[in-house]
Copies of this chain bind each other. A is one copy, B any other.
Amino acid sequence: MLQERVDDLVGEVDQKLRNIVLTDIDLLEEASHHIIDSGGKRVRPRLVFLSYLAAGGENVDDIVALASAVELVHTATLVHDDINDHSLTRRGQISVHARWGRTFALLTGDYLFTKVYELMAPYGSEYNIIMADACVKLVEGETQQAAAAKAGSLDQETYRSIIGRKTASLFEAGARMGAMLGNGNAVLVEAMGNYAYNLGLAFQIVDDVLDIVGDPEAMGKPVGSDVLQGTGAVMAQNGRKDADIGVVSEADPIKKLMNQIRESGAVDIALAQADERANRARQALQQVPASPARDQLESLIDLVLAREQ
């Protein structure tokens, strides 16, 4: 029953996102709808709703715009990422970059980000400070990743910093804001933030592993794209530098490199680290009062670990 309720709320997020990007500049509206309609797992808004409910929040209407904003930060990032990664596909569809070109993809990403700001503004200072901080960290993490790719080297510590900033910070901010708006006390807000941060780390590690071993059709994007970026989790987990393996610039060398990584045992090391983060997330949930929402948050951990796309 709760599952269905959250599914309905996610449907409201989709509608909210479609509405907020309406404009007389047709191209911006079309490109925005293209990326919004292309789906995605909507993990972040689910996390916001469940955190709100776990904290005892009762007026879910209050939280739909905030959950939409959190998803839209992620969406804006994807549009800009695809420019930097030269990705032609995203979520099984043509990317905004491939369909509308670089200039309009850049502007569409900017537009979506201004709409995040518009969605968040009514929530007041406390929430906007948290959200701004998460957005700053996200861009820092993306930059660190691009710099590592350019340098052709990535150590374990940098990898940890990258995924903490670019993924876990927004998970944490969403859960914190959800718990706050649900009138959770300080202990609960802290616990939810801790849970979500660790969930985000596990999520990103699994994501990077799937980039190496995943099924391209299930992923909806080319497998190995992160290898080309030199940012695969697995290389870092393995403690090996990209440079040790050699520079990758063609299709065949990527396949070769991916095979090397698969055979190196690094995938297992990475998955063990994802498990460890999942355990920390579970522990953090112990400080949250039992409820159907908490049960769902616990299930979310297992879904993250088991996902195949």
A135 at the interface (CB under 8 A from B): yes
Tally chain A residues at the interface, Cβ within 8 Å.
Answer: 41
User: Which residue in chain B gives the minimum CB-CB distance to A127?
Assistant: B121
Q: Which residues of B contact A143 (CB under 8 A)?
A: 25, 27-28, 104, 107, 111
Residue pair A136, B107 in contact (C-beta under 8 Å): no
Residue pair A23, B140 in contact (C-beta under 8 Å): yes
Q: Which residues of B contact A118 (CB under 8 A)?
A: 129, 132-133, 136
Which A residues are within 8 Å of any B CB, using their own CB?
A: 23, 25, 27-28, 80, 83-84, 102-104, 106-107, 109-111, 113-115, 117-118, 120-125, 128-129, 131-133, 135-136, 138-140, 142-144, 146-147
26 contacts between A and B (CB under 8 A): A23-B136, A25-B140, A27-B143, A27-B147, A28-B143, A80-B106, A84-B103, A84-B107, A104-B147, A107-B139, A107-B142, A109-B110, A110-B113, A111-B136, A111-B140, A111-B143, A114-B139, A115-B136, A118-B129, A118-B133, A120-B128, A120-B132, A121-B128, A121-B129, A121-B132, A122-B125
